[in-house]
């Protein structure tokens, strides 16, 4: 397995980097000084005594990326991923902080599991931000112990893959979460409609003879959750929006002033259900890849601010699990290591986004949603959490380069433009 | 053995579905089947065409009629045939499908006839192995040899396919037979009509060039052929229709209704037949019913497929 080793930064002067920090309204070629793992300052022609220097000419120095949606599988599914291997994948992709999902075994539905995950990440010097379960055992029946989880470090609550079907339970759980200011992250999907579908329901599933999950399964769930938000005024965060109808409803909810935020994944903005033609299980994810119309709606949603953030839904599965027939193989794709390249290729290069726009979706908005203002910007006196990237570097994402423990990516073999070359996390430097 | 004037050469090592085939390829299989159908009429039902070839029948989902039909086709071609069912294989011990296929290939097998409960399983397997793969039914996707034998029977009785009105009544959604027929018949220029409640019709299937008519009387009006599909009793709890009783009274076909079709219309059914549900017993046994003719033709069609694929393997 590939391994990145971090160097604790003692005294480093990064020269000639294009420093981009929209929050601080910075975008120019400058130097940045890091000492004892912390950012000292940035500016033109800095002097730093005894500092090591690094020439970053041609590279972009930006606040580190934050992923609102990852599965690190520990405890319980260490054969798919561990916190250590997940952190490796995150750093390789330029992420300095990740929100982990609670579908571990046991579920992260109590303070002990939150603490365990935080301790594992602290040893690794990574900013792990666990989410806790919304209901006990993610069973959708009884509200989980959110107050204690929050004290232990949980940043949000969600039952992720298990949408709370019972609207009465959901109401109480969302209300309880609102008591503690915890965002409710919803994997909006009515499972009674999705049933045993393996891909998007539409003309492609009909042609391939595969069972489908219609847009309605997601749209109905988003509609209900928006109405609960209207009732409760909890912070609703809609995960991995994939349908044009979902985007439209979130847009309307925001227009009405409801406290709703949303994320979309790189695969939903880059790929469609046409990818399924070879029955390749690496394209089996949930929500499924949808039609071109939906993909365009997701991109428009990102561009007009309806969708606040890009999150990967990094979902590692062992090769032998994923290499089963299409009915049996689990849902999901890894995403941390390809996300920056895919977003730059599709949106920065493909649709002429500014690099600030990318940062807004992958760093600033996530930090705001979590109210973690140490992230999403450069801050003197704080740990170095930033990246150095080449926005024009062309590369091919390949299985042999993966740092995650699992190799189920829907982007293998794809030509990408834009790559993170150095990630600084908590003052440790990792170079790719 | 080959006695037709078809110009094209068969080049595929696999038969995965009728979706992938051209009209000319379908025509070649049908013509080849015609010449093989004579073998089963002889006192000594044997052709040496596949002597020395080994075929494994890998049925990972229960099957009787298709498996027996393939076995007879293989034996009548003088192939060495071996059966493997899921219950008796190491797959029940947790072996992956790809390992099973690799093991079969290591036994120097030429062709694998495969049935699997998951759509697309044979398609993926075909990329892993040098063995020729015959799809004997994958999930709800395709059952190409059944589709071919239906088309063969139709062509034999009507002398053509182009312009015929062919109607399918029943559970289209879960029917790999219907899907293979749709791909094949539309390529050959038939007018295809699908009939059933909306709950049993796949999303957007009209885009494949077929008509959907929910009223069974309108659907079979003026039909040249009607194929009934079995109502799968096990799907009753998915609430796709309220009861077998209502299904039978609404979509079940009887002698009276069948008079709406052309006077010389033929009735087909891939089997097994649920008498009294999708079809009245008297109609199933009538002179217009060609259900058993389909069964007989199945052997010739499967012989043709095995013969053509093994020829393509030889060319590799």
State which fold the B23-142+298-314 domain adopts: Rossmann fold (3.40.50)
SS3 content of chain B, % helix, strand, coil (to 5): 45, 15, 40
Q: How far is it, in rounded angstroms, from Cα B275 to Cα B277? A: 5
Q: Helix, strand or coil for residue B44?
A: coil
φ, ψ of residue A19 in degrees (nearest 5)? -90, 120
- Chain B residues bordering chain A (beta-carbon distance below 8 Å): 19, 96-98, 116-121, 123-124, 127, 138-142, 176, 179, 202-205, 207-208
Inter-chain residue contact B142 with A209, CB threshold 8 Å? yes
Q: How far is it, in rounded angstroms, from Cα A149 to Cα A107? A: 12
Report the residue from A207, A209, A320 with minimal CB separation from B139. A209
Inter-chain residue contact A205 with B203, CB threshold 8 Å? yes
Q: ipTM score of the complex?
A: 0.91
pLDDT at site B62: 86
Q: How many residues does chain B have?
A: 316
Q: How far is it, in rounded angstroms, from Cα A263 to Cα A151? A: 25
SS3 content of chain A, % helix, strand, coil (to 5): 35, 25, 40
Inter-chain residue contact B140 with A210, CB threshold 8 Å? yes
pLDDT of residue B227 exceeding 60: yes
Mutate: best of B91, B101, B118, partner A, most A CBs <10 A: B118
Q: Cβ distance A154 to A101 under 8 Å?
A: no
**Kind of pairing between the strands at B54-59 and B111-116:** parallel
Q: How many residues does chain A have?
A: 432
Q: How far is it, in rounded angstroms, from Cα A59 to Cα A392? A: 9
Q: How far is it, in rounded angstroms, from Cα A225 to Cα B2? A: 66
Look at A193-207, B78-92, B102-116, B183-197 and tell me which has the smallest mean pLDDT: B78-92
Alpha helical stretches, state H, chain B? 23-37, 65-76, 97-106, 121-128, 144-158, 176-187, 216-220, 244-251, 255-258, 281-284, 291-314
pLDDT at site B87: 62
Q: How far is it, in rounded angstroms, from Cα B128 to Cα B288? A: 45
* C-alpha closest to that of B23 among B145, B165, B164, B184: B184
Confidence label for B88 from pLDDT (cuts 50, 70 and 90): low
Average pLDDT over residues B274-296: 95
Mutate: best of B120, B141, B171, partner A, most A CBs <10 A: B120
pLDDT of residue B1 exceeding 50: no
Distance of CA A127 to the CA centre of its chain: 13
Tens-digit pLDDT profile for residues A103-148: 999 999 999 999 999 999 999 999 999 999 999 999 999 999 999 9
**Kind of pairing between the strands at B80-85 and B165-169:** unpaired
Mutate: best of B16, B98, B200, B203, partner A, most A CBs <10 A: B203
* C-alpha closest to that of B217 among B163, B256, B264, B191: B256
Alpha-carbon torsion, ordered A289, A293, A296, A298, to 10 deg:
-60
Q: Cβ distance A242 to A307 under 8 Å?
A: no
Nearest residue of A to residue B126, measured between CA atoms: A278
Report the residue from A209, A211, A325 with minimal CB separation from B179. A209
A7-61+382-431: CATH number? 2.30.40.10
Report the residue from A209, A278, A323 with minimal CB separation from B141. A209
pLDDT at site B290: 97
Beta strands per DSSP E along A56-117: 60-63, 65-70, 95-100
Inter-chain residue contact B203 with A326, CB threshold 8 Å? no
**Mean of all residue pLDDT scores within chain B:** 92
Average pLDDT over residues B159-180: 97
Contacts of A280 in chain B (CB under 8 A): 124
Q: Nearest-CA distance from A282 to chain B in Å?
A: 12
* C-alpha closest to that of B61 among B127, B118, B99: B118
Q: H/E/C letters for each residue in A330-359?
A: CCCECCCCCHHHHHHHHHHHCCCCCHHHHH
Q: How far is it, in rounded angstroms, from Cα B194 to Cα B216? A: 9
Active site residues of A: 313
Give the domain ranges of chain A. 7-61+382-431, 64-369
Alpha-carbon distance values, B293 to A306, B99, B263, B270 (Å): 61, 38, 19, 11
Nearest residue of A to residue B143, measured between CA atoms: A209
| Residue whose tokens read 């002398």 | B159
Inter-chain residue contact B118 with A278, CB threshold 8 Å? no
pLDDT at site B3: 45
Beta strands per DSSP E along A173-264: 184-186, 199-200, 212-213, 236-238, 260-264
Tens-digit pLDDT profile for residues A206-233: 999 999 999 999 999 999 999 999 999 9
Domain with CATH 3.40.50.1370 in chain B: 23-142+298-314, 144-294
State which fold the A64-369 domain adopts: TIM Barrel (3.20.20)
Q: Nearest-CA distance from A419 to chain B in Å?
A: 33
pLDDT of residue B92 exceeding 80: no
- H/E stretch holding B80 reads strand B80-85
Tens-digit pLDDT profile for residues A336-374: 999 999 999 999 999 999 999 999 999 999 999 999 999
Q: Nearest-CA distance from B280 to chain A in Å?
A: 30
Contacts of A321 in chain B (CB under 8 A): none
Inter-chain residue contact B176 with A209, CB threshold 8 Å? yes
Tens-digit pLDDT profile for residues A172-188: 999 999 999 999 999 99
Q: How far is it, in rounded angstroms, from Cα A86 to Cα A70? A: 9
- H/E stretch holding A391 reads strand A386-396
Inter-chain residue contact B124 with A207, CB threshold 8 Å? no
**Mean of all residue pLDDT scores within chain A:** 97
Q: pTM value?
A: 0.94
Confidence label for B235 from pLDDT (cuts 50, 70 and 90): low
Q: b/e map of A271-281 (b: 16 or more CB within 10 Å)?
A: bbbebbeebbb
φ, ψ of residue B31 in degrees (nearest 5)? -65, -40
Q: Helix, strand or coil for residue A105?
A: coil
Confidence label for B98 from pLDDT (cuts 50, 70 and 90): confident
Average pLDDT over residues A393-406: 97
pLDDT of residue B222 exceeding 80: yes
Kindly report the CATH class assigned to B144-294. alpha beta
Contacts of B123 in chain A (CB under 8 A): 278-279
* C-alpha closest to that of A311 among A20, A68, A106: A68
Inter-chain residue contact B119 with A202, CB threshold 8 Å? no
Inter-chain residue contact B204 with A202, CB threshold 8 Å? yes
Half-sphere exposure of B205 (CA within 13 A, CB side): 31
Report the residue from B98, B119, B204 with minimal CB separation from A208. B119
Look at A47-56, A228-237, A296-305, B5-14 and tell me which has the smallest mean pLDDT: B5-14
Q: How far is it, in rounded angstroms, from Cα A326 to Cα A346? A: 28
Sign for the pseudo-dihedral over CA of B296, B297, B300, B303: negative
Inter-chain residue contact A320 with B208, CB threshold 8 Å? no
Report the residue from A202, A324, A325 with minimal CB separation from B203. A202
* C-alpha closest to that of B224 among B250, B182, B193, B188: B193
Of B233 and A123, the structure prediction assigns the larger pLDDT to: A123
């Amino acid at each position: 397995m590939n391994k990145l080793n971090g160097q604790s930064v003692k005294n480093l002067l990064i020269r000639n980097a294009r420093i981009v920090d929209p929050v601080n309204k910075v975008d120019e070629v400058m130097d940045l000084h890091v000492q004892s793992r912390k950012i000292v300052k940035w500016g033109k022609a800095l002097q730093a005594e005894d500092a090591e220097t690094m020439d970053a000419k041609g590279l972009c120095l930006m606040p580190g990326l934050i992923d609102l949606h990852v599965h690190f599988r520990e405890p319980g599914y260490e054969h798919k991923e561990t916190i250590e291997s997940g952190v490796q994948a995150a750093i390789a992709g330029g992420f300095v902080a990740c929100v982990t999902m609670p579908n571990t075994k046991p579920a992260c539905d109590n303070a002990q599991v939150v603490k365990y995950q935080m301790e594992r990440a602290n040893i690794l010097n990574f900013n792990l931000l666990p989410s806790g379960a919304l209901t006990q055992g993610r069973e959708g029946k009884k509200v989980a112990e959110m107050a204690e989880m929050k004290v232990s470090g949980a940043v949000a609550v969600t039952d992720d893959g298990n949408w709370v079907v019972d609207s009465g339970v959901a109401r109480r759980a969302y209300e309880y979460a609102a008591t503690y200011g915890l965002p409710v992250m919803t994997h909006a999907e009515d499972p009674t409609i999705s049933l045993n579908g393996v891909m998007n329901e539409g003309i492609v599933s009909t042609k391939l003879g595969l069972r489908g999950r219609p847009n309605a399964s997601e749209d109905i769930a988003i509609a209900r959750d928006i109405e609960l938000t209207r009732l409760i005024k909890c912070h609703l965060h809609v995960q991995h929006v994939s349908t044009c109808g979902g985007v439209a409803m979130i847009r309307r909810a925001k227009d009405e002033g409801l406290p709703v935020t949303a994320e979309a994944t790189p695969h939903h903005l880059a790929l469609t259900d046409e990818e399924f033609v070879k029955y390749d299980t690496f394209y089996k994810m949930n929500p499924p890849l949808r039609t071109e119309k939906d993909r365009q709606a997701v991109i428009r949603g990102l561009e007009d601010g309806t969708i606040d953030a890009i999150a990967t839904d990094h979902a590692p599965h062992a090769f032998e699990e994923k290499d089963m027939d299409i009915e049996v193989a689990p849902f999901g794709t890894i995403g941390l290591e390809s996300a920056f390249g895919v977003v730059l290729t599709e949106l920065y290069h493909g649709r002429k986004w500014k690099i600030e726009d990318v940062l807004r979706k992958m760093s600033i908005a996530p930090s705001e949603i979590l109210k973690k203002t140490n992230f999403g910007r450069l801050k003197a006196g704080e740990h170095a959490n930033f990246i150095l990237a080449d926005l024009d570097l062309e590369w091919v994402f390949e299985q042999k380069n993966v740092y995650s423990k699992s190799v189920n990516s829907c982007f293998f073999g794809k030509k990408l433009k834009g790559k993170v070359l150095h990630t600084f996390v908590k003052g440790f430097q990792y170079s790719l | 053995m080959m006695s037709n004037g078809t110009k094209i050469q068969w080049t595929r090592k696999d038969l995965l579905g009728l979706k992938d085939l051209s009209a000319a390829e379908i025509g070649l299989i049908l013509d080849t089947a015609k010449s093989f159908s004579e073998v089963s009429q002889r006192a000594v039902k044997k052709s040496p065409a596949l002597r020395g070839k080994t075929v494994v029948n890998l049925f990972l989902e229960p099957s009787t009629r298709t498996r027996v039909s393939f076995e007879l086709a293989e034996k009548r071609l003088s192939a060495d045939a071996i059966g493997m069912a899921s219950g008796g294989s190491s797959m029940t011990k947790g072996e992956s499908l790809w390992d099973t296929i690799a093991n079969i290939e290591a036994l120097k097998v030429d062709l694998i006839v495969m049935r699997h409960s998951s759509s697309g399983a044979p398609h993926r397997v075909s990329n892993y192995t040098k063995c020729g793969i015959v799809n004997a039914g994958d999930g709800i996707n395709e059952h190409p040899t059944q589709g071919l034998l239906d088309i063969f029977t139709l062509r034999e009785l009507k002398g053509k396919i182009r312009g015929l009105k062919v109607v399918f009544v029943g559970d289209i959604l879960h029917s790999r037979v219907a899907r293979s027929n749709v791909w094949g018949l539309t390529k050959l220029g038939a007018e295809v009509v699908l009939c059933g409640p909306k709950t049993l019709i796949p999303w957007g299937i009209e885009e494949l060039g077929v008509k959907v008519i929910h009223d069974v009387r309108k659907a079979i009006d003026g039909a040249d052929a009607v194929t009934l599909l079995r109502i799968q009793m096990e799907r009753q709890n998915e609430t796709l229709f309220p009861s077998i009783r209502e299904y039978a009274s609404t979509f079940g076909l009887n002698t009276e209704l069948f008079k709406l079709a052309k006077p010389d219309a033929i009735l087909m059914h891939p089997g097994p037949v649920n008498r009294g549900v999708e079809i009245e017993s008297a109609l199933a046994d009538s002179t217009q019913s060609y259900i058993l003719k389909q069964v007989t033709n199945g052997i010739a069609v499967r012989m043709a497929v095995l013969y053509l694929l093994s020829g393509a393997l030889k060319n590799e």
